[in-house]
Amino acid sequence: MLYIDVPLSAKLIEEWVLPDGSSKHNVAIDRLIQLRIMIETVDRKKETTYRVNQTFQVNLQKHIVHGGTLPREPMPTNITVRRPSLQDLEAYAAEQWECFLLHLISSTQAERTTNFSSSMMKIFQRGLLSQRDKEAPKLTKSGFQFLLMDTNAQLWYIIREYITSSEERGLDSADLISFFLELSFHVTGDAYNMNTLTDTQINVIKDLADLGLAKLQQGRKESWFIPTKLATNLSISLSDLSSRKQERGLDSADLISFFLELSFHVTGDAYNMNTLTDTQINVIKDLADLGLAKLQQGRKESWFIPTKLATNLSISLSDLSSRKQGFVVVETNFRVYAYSSSKLHCEILRLFSRVEYQLPNLIVGAITKESLYNAFENGIMAEQIISFLQQNAHPRVAERMPSVPENVTDQIRLWESDMNRVEMAPAYYYDEFPSREVYEAACDYARQYGGLLWDESKRMRLVVKAEIHMHMREFLRREK
């Protein structure tokens, strides 16, 4: 079938099979369909036909005729004699990632100085850190929220920003995604020769080593990198995200990039459909059918509004089986006990609680109104705090329902509502529109830019954010 360009009927293929191999044949066909190597179609007459995936077919033909580059093979163990055990590698990855998070909180907290590359520092300062002249970098609201994310969600945020900023560094995003995909299918703990990498890939692997996704080692003549679980677990969800894209003629790199981008949109905000490519428009329509987005049409513009199902993609990408054992116990009197010796855990708890004392393997603190107000002012939300406490609940309390006492979660939400009772924001009020059409067009325009705060259709009145006031004035002048 490799050199047959037309679909073959199931009956014809079954004639090739020996009588005692029918069950194995069916299993093989199902497996090839799952791997998207073979495509199954059913016509109007309900006759089943199969054909080889065109992309796979063309590439395999080229490989057979012209040869090709074999997958990167691990180095022999007799060369990499100092290779760490899987336990040591996991401890190394955890240490590197913890050091990175401590660096975000405060560079003075890190046990050892980590010299991150300029490319990684740009990623940190894209949204996690802000810095004024002659002042030390400080966490932004997004940075505080980032610290309370699940480890895998944090990783995906960094990977996404790394890919997004690739063009600024003169790198091809498709090549970068392809390398991440390739890296995710390496074997944890095996050593791979650095000489098999391009110069760009060497720089990328050094950046990833700073984050604990790989460990670099140097021998007498060779150097190699060893992927950790953080790197090899990337494939768990990428394979799902890119499922069946080949059957529809879509580029996997573009599709994965769009899913990652979509996952970091804001739930409830409207985004103009004109900013999407034709492929992305078709994808967003498919996602709307599944409830990941809501499509709306105005007089002149159309937009999509992501739901929580879409914006939580980056969280659902996490591998649940690889999460660490919980360590936090919260009591009904708002006392917090964290069974951990990690400085990182202590610093994260300080974000929303008052740490009273720290023993070699125990951190004791309390959730107070003042500590939560400080967290809310830094941009951390009540649901993020509650989610962190639930996800990191100690095994002894994780089995209880709820794992965090209800009086504590309810009070955290109440204190947040007290903070948000009144919110002052500069705005502009519009009324006396010349016609209903102009009013609706103005509403659509303000909504498109996320600046519509309030509208009353009956009396044709609306309020918009001050940031878009000048744009609204120009728009209304054109409409008149």
CATH number at residue 465: 3.30.70.2610
Is the domain of 416 the same as that of 435? no
CA distances from 295 to 254, 270, 309 (A): 21, 9, 15
Measured distance CA(365)–CA(376) in Å, rounded: 18
Which of 265, 287, 320 terminates a domain? The answer is 320
Is the domain of 153 the same as that of 60? no
Q: Given this model, what pLDDT does residue 243 score?
A: 42
Is the domain of 115 the same as that of 178? yes
Whether the pLDDT of residue 251 is over 60: the answer is no
Which pLDDT band holds residue 232 (cuts at 50, 70, 90)?
Answer: confident
How high is the mean pLDDT of the chain?
83
Q: Which domain holds residue 45?
A: 8-66
Which pLDDT band holds residue 430 (cuts at 50, 70, 90)?
Answer: very high
Q: Is residue 71, in this structure, part of any structural domain at all?
A: no
Q: Give me the amino acid identity at 409.
A: T
Q: Is residue 473, in this structure, part of any structural domain at all?
A: yes
- Residue 268 belongs to domain with CATH number: 1.10.10.10
Is the domain of 201 the same as that of 127? yes
User: Residues 125-144: what's their mean pLDDT?
Assistant: 75
Is the domain of 185 the same as that of 94? yes
This prediction's pTM: 0.57
Is the domain of 257 the same as that of 297? yes
Q: Is residue 465, in this structure, part of any structural domain at all?
A: yes
Q: Which two tokens stand for residue 420?
A: 């948000």
Q: Is residue 445, in this structure, part of any structural domain at all?
A: yes
Measured distance CA(243)–CA(241) in Å, rounded: 6
Q: Of 357, 415, 412, which is closest to residue 385 (Cα–Cα)?
A: 412
Least confident of 101-110, 172-181, 367-376: 101-110
Say how many C-beta atoms besides its own lie within 10 A of residue 185's C-beta: 15
Is the domain of 83 the same as that of 225? yes
Q: Given this model, what pLDDT does residue 228 score?
A: 94
- The fraction of the chain above a pLDDT of 90, given in percent, is 27
Q: Which two tokens stand for residue 233?
A: 């677990």
Q: Given this model, what pLDDT does residue 242 score?
A: 42
Q: Given this model, what pLDDT does residue 139 score?
A: 81
| β pairing state of 452-456 and 461-465 | antiparallel
Q: Given this model, what pLDDT does residue 82 score?
A: 79
Q: Is residue 57, in this structure, part of any structural domain at all?
A: yes
Mention every residue, 6+ apart, whose C-beta is less than 8 A from residue 132: none
User: Residues 70-97: what's their mean pLDDT?
Assistant: 83
Which pLDDT band holds residue 27 (cuts at 50, 70, 90)?
Answer: confident
Which of 182, 212, 237 terminates a domain? The answer is 237
Q: Given this model, what pLDDT does residue 319 score?
A: 39
Q: Is residue 2, in this structure, part of any structural domain at all?
A: no
Q: Given this model, what pLDDT does residue 333 score?
A: 96
Measured distance CA(392)–CA(51) in Å, rounded: 48
| β pairing state of 271-272 and 302-306 | antiparallel
Is the domain of 218 the same as that of 121? yes
User: Residues 412-419: what's their mean pLDDT?
Assistant: 91
Q: Which two tokens stand for residue 372?
A: 């939560």
**pLDDT tens-place string over residues 337-355:** 999 998 889 999 999 999 9
Please tell me which residue, 276 or 266, carries the higher pLDDT value: 276
Q: Of 54, 22, 14, 60, which is closest to residue 36 (Cα–Cα)?
A: 54
What are the backbone angles phi and psi of residue 185, rounded to the nearest 5°?
Answer: -100, 10
Is the domain of 226 the same as that of 333? no
Is the domain of 414 the same as that of 288? no
Q: Is residue 72, in this structure, part of any structural domain at all?
A: no
Measured distance CA(8)–CA(43) in Å, rounded: 12
Least confident of 108-112, 346-350, 381-385, 461-465: 108-112
Which of 208, 237, 266 terminates a domain? The answer is 237
Least confident of 83-97, 230-244, 385-399: 230-244
User: Residues 149-164: what's their mean pLDDT?
Assistant: 82
Q: Which residues of 135-148 are buried (b: 16+ CB within 10 A; e: fewer)?
A: eebebbeebbbbbb
What DSSP string runs through 1-65? -TT--S-EEHHHHHTTS-GGGHHHHHHHHHHHHHTTSEEEEE-TT--EEEEE-HHHHHHHHHHHH
What DSSP string runs through 74-119? PPPTTT-TTPPPHHHHHHHHHHHHHHHHHHHH-TTTSSS-----HH
How do the residues of the chain divide into helix, strand and coil, expressed in percent and rounded to 5?
Answer: 50, 15, 35
Q: Is residue 246, in this structure, part of any structural domain at all?
A: no
Whether the pLDDT of residue 329 is over 60: the answer is yes
Is the domain of 156 the same as that of 229? yes
Please tell me which residue, 281 or 68, carries the higher pLDDT value: 281
- Which alpha helices (H) appear in 312-398, and where do they start and end? 313-316, 343-350, 369-377, 382-391, 395-398
Q: Given this model, what pLDDT does residue 241 score?
A: 41
Which pLDDT band holds residue 115 (cuts at 50, 70, 90)?
Answer: low
- The fraction of the chain above a pLDDT of 70, given in percent, is 87
**pLDDT tens-place string over residues 37-55:** 888 888 878 888 998 888 8
Q: Given this model, what pLDDT does residue 317 score?
A: 44
Is the domain of 95 the same as that of 196? yes
Query: How many domains, in total, are found in the chain?
Result: 5
